[in-house]
Amino acid sequence: MAAEINVKFVDKIIRVTRGAYICSLVYMIFLAMSETISNKLAIWVYFGVFLSLYILNFVIGFIKKIKKLKYLRIKVVIEYIAVTLASCIFGKTMMEFVLFNVYQMFYLIEFAILNEEMRDDSSMFKDLLIAVPSIIHLLVYMVRNVPDKWMFFAIFPPIIQAICFYILVDYLVRKIRVYDRRLSRVYHQNISLREANAKMLEMQEKVKKVNNEINYQKIMIQDMSRRDGLTGIYNRVYFNEMYSKLCTEAKAKNTSLTVALFDIDKFKSVNDTYGHLVGDEVIKMVAGIDNDYAERNHGYAFRFGGEEFLLVLPGKTMEDSKQILTDLHRSIKSREVVLDDVKLNVDVCIGYSSYPEVCDDAKLLVARADEAMYYGKTHGRGIMTADTGKTIEADSTEKADKPDKSDKK
């Protein structure tokens, strides 16, 4: 099956051939006009041959349907035979022999290149067959111009030389084509490698984006597991995880750590009177204020359970915490909860304790703050109570012994 060729390859061969024919046509016109040339008929015959071959190449250059290498090779054979016949019939001088011999060598090289392009295994045999006209052309010239006694010595060396020359040309053409194919293979391999690298980089970017998205989702899921579903602040599970780290850090650095626990007063009656939707709004309001004060003071806000909340203040002493909690208490009392036609204000009891100022064990701060808060709930409610280390002391003038926990509600 004949091989396909690209248009650029065909155009290069046809352009080179047409250029050679134009040069020959100009040369023939020059010879025809010269008075020293006696054989004008041969010159015009040569002119006609070259003009016909030029027109053949010109027409082939515009026929886009010719896409097979074998058609281009037939063109070379026609050119070769035409030039050889013209030289054998009319050629007599050395100049004519040299001119046509150059064309023959050009056709042989072109023919060898086309055979290589077609990857024809029998191309060497075909090339040697097409070289036969060159040998005949050489014999005709020798018979016409060399004496009989020198005929053998004149003919044999050029024949051997022509054969050797063609074998060398064929060998070089094959080597060049093999090298060109290797370069082409390496080039395409490099292109494939670059494309593979580009795809690999693209896949790496996609994997990186997927991993980032997975990590982000993990962080979001982890954060959601740490937060209370209703209020959005941290839950008790995260408090248990976080508080031990804060206690360890406070002991290691010998810094203050304050824990405040507060509970919404009479929250059960709010639910019973106004319903759970209003109760939820009250919880969200208190949690929001708790979280605001935590962020302002580099602390942590937690929903401890039900209507109980925690505010953890690392690095704050009892005196520092008293002012912060006083402002927090006022904010809760003054904030109005509005839902539909319901308008409601609530109050809280706050108990707080601090390490190492009044409690020498940071892990007992929650229990000490809880006892202080119970004191407020059993002595009038709406009270902020400080842990003094030995007795529970309300920030108001009211003092009492530690209450019974059964009085919480």
User: Residue 217 is which amino acid?
Assistant: Q
Alpha helices in 227-317 (DSSP H): 236-253, 267-274, 276-296
pLDDT at 323 over 90: yes
If you average pLDDT over residues 358-363, what whole number do you get? 86
At residue 407, the pLDDT reads 40
Residue 312: which of 372, 363, 253, 380 has the closest Cα? 363
Residue 381: which of 311, 332, 343 has the closest Cα? 332
Which range among 44-53, 64-73, 151-160, 392-401 shows the weakest confidence by mean pLDDT?
392-401
At residue 328, the pLDDT reads 95
78-100 pLDDT per residue, tens: 766 777 666 666 666 655 666 66
**Which residue ranges does the chain devote to CATH 3.30.70.270?**
236-407
Give Cα separations from 185 to 37, 115, 118, 188, 199 (angstroms).
55, 20, 17, 5, 21
- Residue 131, classed as helix, strand or coil, is coil
* The CATH fold of domain 236-407: Alpha-Beta Plaits (3.30.70)
At residue 261, the pLDDT reads 95
If you average pLDDT over residues 201-218, what whole number do you get? 91
Alpha-carbon torsion (18, 20, 22, 28), positive or negative: negative
In this prediction, residue 398 has a pLDDT band, given cuts at 50, 70 and 90, of very low
If you average pLDDT over residues 20-30, what whole number do you get? 73
Burial (CB count <10 Å: 0-12, 13-18, 19+), residue 137? buried
